[in-house]
Amino acid sequence: MRRIILAGNWKMNQTPSQAQVLLEELKNSLPATKHTVAVFPPYLALTQAVAAGEPFLVGAQNCHFEDKGAFTGEISLPMLSEIGVKAVIVGHSERRQYFGETDETVNKKTLAVLRAGLIPVICIGETLPQRESGAYAEVLKGQLCAALSGVSAQQVPYVVIAYEPVWAIGTGVTASAQQAEEVCAMLREQLGLLYDADRALQVSILYGGSMNAGNAASLLEMENIDGGLIGGASLKPAEFAAIVQAANDVKEARV
Q: Which residues does the annotation mark as catalytic?
A: 92, 164
Asked whether position 84 contacts ligand 13P by CB under 6 A, the answer is no
Asked whether position 119 contacts ligand 13P by CB under 6 A, the answer is no
Identify which of residues 107 and 210 has a Cβ nearer to ligand 13P in the complex.
Answer: 210
- For residues 4 and 36, is the Cβ–Cβ distance under 8 A? yes
Q: Directed axis angle between helix 16-29 and helix 237-250, to 10°? A: 40
Q: Rounded to the nearest whole angstrom, what is the least distance from the CB of residue 92 to ligand 13P in the complex?
A: 6
Instruction: Give Cα 16 to chain centroid, integer Å.
Output: 22
Q: Is 71 exposed, middle or buried (0-12, 13-18, 19+ CB in 10 A)?
A: exposed
Identify which of residues 41 and 208 has a Cβ nearer to ligand 13P in the complex.
Answer: 208
Asked whether position 59 contacts ligand 13P by CB under 6 A, the answer is no
Helix (H, G, I), strand (E, B) or coil at 7: strand
Asked whether position 38 contacts ligand 13P by CB under 6 A, the answer is no
Q: Is 38 exposed, middle or buried (0-12, 13-18, 19+ CB in 10 A)?
A: buried
Rounded to whole angstroms, the Cα distance separating 5 from 25 reads 20
Rounded to whole angstroms, the Cα distance separating 44 from 79 reads 12
- Kindly tell me which residue out of 57, 113, 229, 243 binds ligand 13P, with binding defined by CB under 6 A: 229
Helix (H, G, I), strand (E, B) or coil at 94: helix
Asked whether position 208 contacts ligand 13P by CB under 6 A, the answer is yes
Which residue's Cβ lies closest to ligand 13P?
231
Helix (H, G, I), strand (E, B) or coil at 59: strand
Asked whether position 170 contacts ligand 13P by CB under 6 A, the answer is yes
Asked whether position 164 contacts ligand 13P by CB under 6 A, the answer is yes
Interface positions, 6-25, toward ligand 13P (CB under 6 A)? 9
Asked whether position 227 contacts ligand 13P by CB under 6 A, the answer is no
- The residue range among 20-28, 68-76, 163-171, 183-191 that interacts with ligand 13P, by the rule CB under 6 A, is 163-171
Eight-class DSSP state of 88: E
- Kindly tell me which residue out of 226, 232, 236, 244 binds ligand 13P, with binding defined by CB under 6 A: 232
Chain residues binding ligand 13P by CB under 6 A are 9, 92, 164, 169-170, 208-211, 229-233
